[in-house]
Structure 1
C-alpha cells in the first residue's frame, strides 16, 4: 500500500506524519489503531496522523507536543514523500 508521509527531526525529536482521511483523525479509537499499525514501518518513532477538511485545513492526531509543533506549520512546509507499507 502506498501512503504519503514525512519523517521529520526537530529539536532532537524524530517523528513521522502520515496523511489519512479526516474521519480517521476525528475518531480517537481508529486513530490509535492506525498509529499502532504504522509505527513499526517507521522504526517505532512517534507517528502523528494528518487529515484535511474540505477547505484543505490540516487536523492532527498524535503526541500533543508534536501536534502543537505541526499546527504552527503550513502543510507545504512538511517534506512529504511516498512510502510503501505492507
Structure 2
C-alpha cells in the first residue's frame, strides 16, 4: 500500500499526518477505523487524517491539539512524502 503523509515534531509533540479522500472524514466511525489502519505504519505516534476539498481547503481529523495546530498552517508547509507499507 502506498500513501502520502508526514511525520512532524512540533512543540515537543511528534505525530503523523496521512492524506485521505474527503469521504473518509464523513463519519467518526470511518475516520477512527482509518486511523487504526494507519497506526501500524507509525508506531507510538498519534495519527491525524487530512482531506482537501475541491478548492484545496484542508480538513483535519484526530487529536484536537494537533488538528488545532495544523488548521493554522498551510498544508504546503508540511514535509509530505510517499510511504510504502506492505
Q: Deviations over 1:6-33 (max 9, x none)?
A: 0000011100000000110222100000
Superposed counterparts of 1:59-74, under 5 Å: 59-74=59-74
| TM-score calculated relative to the size of structure 1 | 0.96
Counterpart in the other structure of 2:24 = 24
Superposed counterparts of 1:40-51, under 5 Å: 40-51=40-51
Q: Deviations over 1:3-62 (max 9, x none)?
A: 000000001110000000011022210000010111111112000000011111000000
1:85: how far off? 1.8
Contiguous gaps of at least 5 residues in structure 2: none
Contiguous gaps of at least 5 residues in structure 1: none
